[in-house]
Structure 1
Amino acid sequence: MAQATTLNDAQIKRALRYCQARRHVTRDTTILQFSLYTGLRAKELAALRIGDVYDAEGAVRSQFTLAKSQTKGSRTRTVFVNKQLTQQLALYRTWRSSVDPTAPLFRSQKGGHFSANTMCQLFLNIFHACGLQGASSHSPRRTFITRLANKGIGVRVLAALAGHSSIAVTQRYIDVNDEQLANAVELL
């Protein structure tokens, strides 16, 4: 099975622009940005609750902990929220009016939690409509890891952020392209 495509800036902009034309603009934009800025899997995004991301006053948390039941590896892990995602989540909070901390952060068409499969389908629908060949729900995750690696973040930190128990798994996520190779040899 081929790895999901790593997205470049133009592809990310195209997907975000497409989200602006969808029925659930704010939700879909927030889901895509959440995945791009945290590297969360579709299963983890689907399992998020309002109380995971917002405190009792409704402010966006700078970090939160995923419970074992929310992760693929059944291990808790801390998720850090950057400034761009904080801004999007503040906007999302005004749109998503529920204050129940146990309510799903992202509501499906039926009003409940997304299933992992339905979240994957959402990503596939967005990427297919944008003409992004080979892109899947794992593409934002691979993009997150690759971009941080390109900025010099060490593989151990990347593994912790991704929730990988092995750095070998993390290394498989890092995409290498000709521009990176050319820049590397210019360092000599």
Structure 2
Amino acid sequence: MPGSQALLLTPSAVRRLHKHVLSHSRYPARDRVIVALSFRAGLRAAEIAGMRWRMVLDPYGKVADRLTVEDAIAKRRGGRIVPMHQELRAALIALRAELDASPERDASIVTSERGGPMRAGSIVNLFAGWYAALGFEGCSSHSGRRTFVTTAARNLAKAGGSLRDVQLLAGHRQLATTERYIQGDTHAQRRLIALL
């Protein structure tokens, strides 16, 4: 049903969100990671809340070139490995540098004001507040994930991948679920018809 899914953000809207988070947040390094985990890795709010440093570090304690969403934090135990986007990697490195000491591997990446792990509901509320402040109606914490899946699908031809690759990155069991995330583009449809 139209309108029932979280809205996608355009690249310029994502830039506005980043700018807002960096300039208005009490915890900009943490919140930059939250936004990047959503838009650059396609994670759900519960997965963002459940991320531990061991899931993003290599054996030498450096931020790796991929992140692991463990089954324990994934919906329906749909764990997966996602290559690390450079923006997310930079945000994680900056957050680690801000911490007084290197966090333990089992420590939460995203922590609350009190220092404990942030809950999924708090992540949802953060996004709701950011979107309200920016006047982005129809957006939710799931907008980043939906934007990630749609953007990945639209870039398949450039990467030489298939919709199955997007499905694996999203952690969906069924390809039909991935397809429901992807928003069509009437301009692209017109270009496709013109090529026939």
Per the shorter chain, which TM-score range?
Answer: over 0.9
Q: Secondary structure at the match of 1:20?
A: helix
User: Residues 31 and 117 from structure 1, CA distance in 2 versus in 1: closer, same or farther, beyond 3 angstroms?
Assistant: same
Distance 2:138 2:10 in 1: 13
In structure 1, the residue matched to 2:133 is 129
Deviation at 1:172, TM superposition (A): 0.3
Q: Aligned to 2:162, which of 135, 145, 154? A: 154
In structure 2, the residue matched to 1:103 is 107
Letter in 1 for 2:180: R
2:125 pairs with 1:117: no
Distance 2:146 2:116 in 1: 28
Q: TM-score, normalised by structure 2?
A: 0.89
Contact 1:66–1:78 at 8 Å: present in 2 too?
yes
> Deviations for 1:122-147, whole angstroms, at most 9, x for unmatched residues?
11111111111111111010001101
Structure 2: segments with no counterpart, 5+ residues: none
In structure 2, the residue matched to 1:176 is 184
> Deviations for 1:108-166, whole angstroms, at most 9, x for unmatched residues?
12211111111111111111111111111110100011011111242211111100000
In the TM superposition, 1:38-117 aligns within 5 A as 38-55=41-58, 57-97=60-100, 98-117=102-121
Letter in 1 for 2:162: G
Contact 1:58–1:93 at 8 Å: present in 2 too?
no
Letter in 1 for 2:103: V
In structure 1, the residue matched to 2:21 is 19
Distance 2:155 2:94 in 1: 28
Distance 1:160 1:168 in 2: 12
Letter in 1 for 2:125: Q
Q: TM-score, normalised by structure 1?
A: 0.92
Q: Secondary structure at the match of 2:128?
A: helix
Letter in 1 for 2:76: G
Deviation at 1:64, TM superposition (A): 3.3
Structure 1: segments with no counterpart, 5+ residues: none
**Corresponding pairs, count:** 188
Deviation at 1:33, TM superposition (A): 1.3
Distance 1:74 1:44 in 2: 11
